[in-house]
Structure 1
Amino acid sequence: MTVIDTKKYLDQWFDQPITLLEKLLNRKDAQHFYRYLQFFGMYRPSKKAETDYMKLKELHAWELIEEYEQKYQSLWDGCKKNIYIFPLQSRRSFLLEDKSGVTFPDEMYFFLSPIEDHQKEWEALFVHEYHHINRLNKLKDTTDQWVLRDSLILEGLAELAVSEYCGEQYVSDYSMKYSKDQIHYFWEKYMKNHLHVKKSDPLHDDLLFGRKFYPKFMGYAIGYYVIKHMSEERKFHTIEKLSTPSSQFEIEQCF
């Protein structure tokens, strides 16, 4: 894995993010891809975003992420993939808090802002996304058939990794947003009959992220509840389950 020096591209094309992505990634679909990354938190050009970018450089964001990459690659015997770092949107959407990321099988994107306790907060984000990319690569022969069950397990395991390596106080607020009774209610009303919804179906993201009329981040909260419940009962650590197919996690028995 390599932490790509996005700074030199940001310095030159900060106000032209589509051009930046074209130059950086050599993508012909840069406009479409930029819109996709915006959903997960990539900055829009503004004075605030530019100020945040300068502060990220002062906080050595690129160097810190590289340290985390080296640490967890060694601890987990992890894969090597490219990492791209950009400022977070200065105007928060329903999805975003103060840091965000998105992972693909071959690359990871981090969207950061200068926040208190930034070293530990960024490490927690790194652990979450790096867990994703390792699991995706170990299950690479099945990801083209990905369904909602797979996503619940993916997110739950990643948040358990955050709890184990950074402390439960760094588990995302949205994963611990709801009470046990609320989780059980959401499961019965919204989730249990849709575990086989394909990732390509818009309903998948509606349920996972809590879009439209669904409770915000419902899927993340259910995923973490399920994995935490199983780990407490069966005494496993998340890294032991990196290559375990989702079909082997008996979600239904947690309710």
Structure 2
Amino acid sequence: MGIVRTDEWVEELLRDYEEKRSQDLYEGQLNKIGVPVSHHFPSSSPEEVTYHLQQHGLFQPGEWRKMKRLVGDMKDRGIWETIEHEFVQLKDQWKGPDIPVYIFPITRGYEKRQVKNKNGLAIKGAVFLFLTASHKQQELRAILAHEYHHVCRMTAQGLSEETLRLEDLLVLEGTAEQAVKRIYGKEWLAPWTSVYKEKECKSYWGKYILPLLESTDHEQNMKLMYGKKHGRPPKWVGYNAAYHLVNAYCRTKGLHDLSDLFQVSAEEVIKESSFVKSQL
């Protein structure tokens, strides 16, 4: 398991495009990327899987001409090697599952002013990272740790993507960023951790989040996590609450060993976190 040499997949796909062996650009990406990873999504077709990956950052087929240089730059920066080294370290440290990690160039990753230049997707059996060539090594390590932490916690808790409740999702995100902070430092936390101070975010908890803690409606839950740029619920409110929720729990309990967080249920975190208790 470990790091899959997806750079070779992408380079083969680009050669097919250049030599016109794949007349249909979408069909080429489907066959070279969507089909090989579709076994991780047994309830979805390869077409649905490909679309799902594109929604998370996989480059669009029409961008293929600009991908050759981007993949080359990513290889020159040793991105696959950096991620592999960190994966081995984390797997040993957390005694986590030996899963495949797929790395792909992110859509528009060749644009220097692209705001969203990295993203990740974690499912119980794999991690997908969508990256560009400009990341610092510590940034690469942090995004892997965040996503792999999800896998470790889902495995330890017996969670599945299909039945995740909002409270599970909140604690998943909050514990993952707690891992990033403790291993790599506050400077590598996700931007959403600091968009609202803890006191400000508390005012949103009862209004937007508490009534939906048991919700398994993924679409509804993600709308709450992301919020709205202009409107209500406010932008990033769910993610920000997730960080403060777990951070306050760790502060209250004095937890030092990150692996302890894998065993603590979402209900326990919410019940014992001072972020919530102070509002009762």
* Length-normalised TM-score, structure 2: 0.82
- 1:13 matched residue in structure 2: 13
Paired residue for 2:76? 58
Query: 1:30: which partner in 2?
Result: 46
Match of 2:226 in 1: 209
1:80 aligns with 2:101: no
Mark the structure with the bigger radius of gyration: 2
**Does structure 1 conserve the Cα–Cα contact (< 8 Å) formed by 2:225 and 2:237?**
yes
Percent sequence identity is 22
For residues 49 and 73 of structure 2, what CA distance do their matches in structure 1 show? 26
Residues 120 and 127 in structure 2, CA contact (< 8 A), matched pair in contact too: yes
CA contact (8 A) 1:205 1:211 kept: no
Mean Cα displacement is larger for which, 181-190 or 107-116? Answer: 181-190
Please report the TM-score for the alignment, with normalisation by the length of structure 1. Answer: 0.89
Letter in 1 for 2:31: T
Residue identity in the other structure for 1:98: N
2:85 to 59, 67, 81: 67
| RMSD of Structure 2 on Structure 1 (CA) | 2.2
2:38/2:45 contact within 8 Å kept: no
Residue matched to 2:260: 240
> Unaligned 5+ residue runs, structure 2?
15-24
Q: Alpha-carbon deviations, 1:157-201, whole Å to 9, x = none?
A: 000000000001100011221123431222132111111111x34
Write the letter of the residue equivalent to 1:203.
Answer: Q
CA change 1:73–1:254 in 2 (3 A) is: farther
Q: 1 CA distance for matches of 2:161 and 2:59?
A: 29
DSSP 3-state at the match of 1:216: coil
- Give the Cα separation in 1 of the matches to 2:36 and 2:91: 24
Count how many residue pairs are aligned between Structure 1 and Structure 2: 250
Matched AA of 2:262: L
Instruction: State how 1:215-234 maps to structure 2 within 5 Å.
Output: 215-234=234-253
Match of 2:20 in 1: none
Q: Deviations over 1:199-220 (max 9, x none)?
A: x342111112225843222211
Structure 1 residues 39 and 218 mapped into 2: Cα distance closer, same or farther (>3 Å)? Answer: farther
**Separation in 2 of the partners of 1:242 and 1:26?**
27
Structure 1 gaps of 5+ residues are: none
Cα distance, 1:254–1:121 mapped onto 2, change above 3 Å: farther
State the partner residue of 2:141: 123
